[in-house]
A and B are shown apart, each in its own frame.
Chain A
Amino acid sequence: MTRPLVAIRGVSQRFGVEGVSVAALEGIDLDIPDGQFVSVVGPSGCGKSTLLSLIAGLRAPSSGAVFCDGEPITAPMPRKVGVIFQEANLLPWLSAIDNVAFPLKLRRVPRPERLQAAARMLELTGLAGFESRLPHQLSGGMKQRVAIARGLVQNPAVLLMDEPFASLDEQTRMVLGDELLRIWSETRKTVLFVTHSLNEAVYLADRVVVLSARPGRVVDDVDVDLPRPRSFAMTSSERFGILKDRIWQHIKHAERR
């Protein structure tokens, strides 16, 4: 078997909250092969976002280690890992294209080159023609498309998505989900997708990792054996229902506590 692209080894994370140590994650072990689309679900506050911030290199785990492409992650690795947050978090004073080019600017890529790359990404995310718009001139869904383009502009191997569609309305969400699958099938990134929506988790992913309530542990690792390309009709298939139900059983217990 090939080496996993992202490897999480015995990771635990504790936070000090007003002098009390709180465990957010405990003993997480995960191997994510190259090109896999993984959804991460779990009850509220189970440390899903913490897990992503560890892979993003924004913090170091209290114990254990995270590897990307065999290298331990100790700081952000912008060329290997792209991150998309719940809010688009665009720089409001930059146009769409300059926002997409921003990671390249930080790396001092010459302007013509970075604008060229950014224009390609805007095209990929369906925003050709909106290059010069400022963020406040874009709808919520369009802003998130810009954020996805920004995440992809350095051609990272891994895309981390922290509830990227959570603040969008249901319809925009469904459209963007399909768009994401199209982009994924064109670019074959490894995606870690944190979500609250079980539909979204199953619909998009090859595999759903289910975390327990705090401290988050992996309680189930579900192989989504639905064929690709996915279609809206599959969401009402029997298999889809069985998978969703299996995940829901874990979460239901945790949320009831």
Chain B
Amino acid sequence: MRRHERVIVAAVVLGLFGLWETRARLGRIDASLAPAPSTILDALVRLLKRPEVLQSLGVTAWEAIAAFLIAVPVGLLIGFILAEIPSLGGLLRPLVNFLFGVPKSIFLPVFILMFGVSIPQKIAFGVFTTIFVLIMGGIAAVQSVPPELVTVSRVYGASRLQIIREIYLPAMAPILLESARLGMVFNITAVLLCEIYGARDGIGYRIAAWGENLQMPQLYAALVLVATAAVAVNEALRRVETRLGAWRQRS
């Protein structure tokens, strides 16, 4: 975005919040459903001082990170295998494509039956939801490696290991990071869904509880918190992706 565009966007957002604030204070909108932004901000500051809330955030973060750390290497490895072994890929890729299109949320009750309402259940469901993105990403990444570059390196005496390190990895890096980033979005969604559906701790669990008890300031404050965290993770990954993929830009 250009500078003046940023100013315009910031002004529009601030304007909307200002409108919301004044209307809520004047009693024109139902404060029990949409409390004023200042009330939400206040609730947010107080939430961040409560140890049990911080602990819930920690639980959610732990579940998301654990699921991510399992799903990324396993998913990519499956993707690489399916892409590199055509006979296996031919058999299994239609299945992966098919499962990719199925909404994963419908399997949540099955995961509760299998793992109980527990942290492993959240992690398992996170992995299950995320892994298909990474399998597809792994396949796409391998297919993005230009075969002529492999030929060139063979001509110049590259070993198999050197071909992987010097050609495959840099060529695949942008797509790998992109799939990891997309996977993270799916993953956070899955973990929060699990917590809202049934849990003993975690920020999703608290969001559900505040919602049921009509504690709107806390609920909105938690939404702001989760949204900010998710955007921060996404942007951080996107930064790395852009830097590693600078060579992909066409002039």
Contact = CB atoms under 8 A, between A and B. Distances in A.
Given A92-B247, A134-B247, A105 B166 contact: yes
B229 to A, nearest CB: 32
Max chain A Cβ within 10 angstroms of own Cβ: one of B152, B158, B170: B152
A87 interface: yes
Contacts of B162: 106
Interface string B159-199: 00010001100110000000000000000000000000000
B247 A136 contact: yes
B153 interface: yes
A79 B156 CA distance: 8
A134 B247 CA distance: 7
B247 A106 contact: no
A92 B246 CA distance: 10
Given A92-B247, A93-B247, A136-B247, A83 B155 contact: yes
Given A92-B247, A93-B247, A106-B162, A87 B157 contact: no
Interface residues of A, number: 26
B148 interface: yes
Nearest to B247: A93
A148 B227 CA distance: 52
Interface residues of B, number: 22
Contact of B157 (A94, A107, A135, A136): A107
B154 interface: yes
Nearest to B171: A93
A106 B170 contact: no
A58 interface: yes
A136 B148 contact: no
B153 A106 contact: yes
A146 B50 CA distance: 62
A58 B157 contact: no
A56 B170 contact: no
Contacts of B153: 102, 106
Contacts of A4: none
Interface in A106-150: 106-107, 134-137, 150
A141 B114 CA distance: 62
Nearest to B154: A76
B171 to A, nearest CB: 8
Contacts of B214: none
A150 B156 CA distance: 10
B251 interface: yes
A19 to B, nearest CB: 18
Contact of A78 (B155, B247, B249): B155
Nearest to A81: B155
Contact of A58 (B146, B155, B249): B155
B170 A91 contact: yes
A105 B170 CA distance: 15
A78 B148 CA distance: 16
B28 interface: no
A51 to B, nearest CB: 15
B145 to A, nearest CB: 11
A216 interface: no
Contacts of A87: 148
A85 interface: yes
B3 interface: no
A164 interface: no
Interface of A: 56-58, 76-79, 81, 83, 85, 87, 89, 91-94, 102-103, 105-107, 134-137, 150
Given A78-B157, A106-B153, 15 more contacts: A57-B155, A58-B154, A76-B154, A77-B157, A83-B152, A85-B148, A89-B148, A91-B149, A91-B166, A91-B170, A102-B156, A105-B166, A106-B158, A107-B157, A134-B247
9 contacts: A58-B151, A58-B154, A76-B155, A83-B156, A89-B152, A93-B170, A106-B153, A136-B250, A150-B156
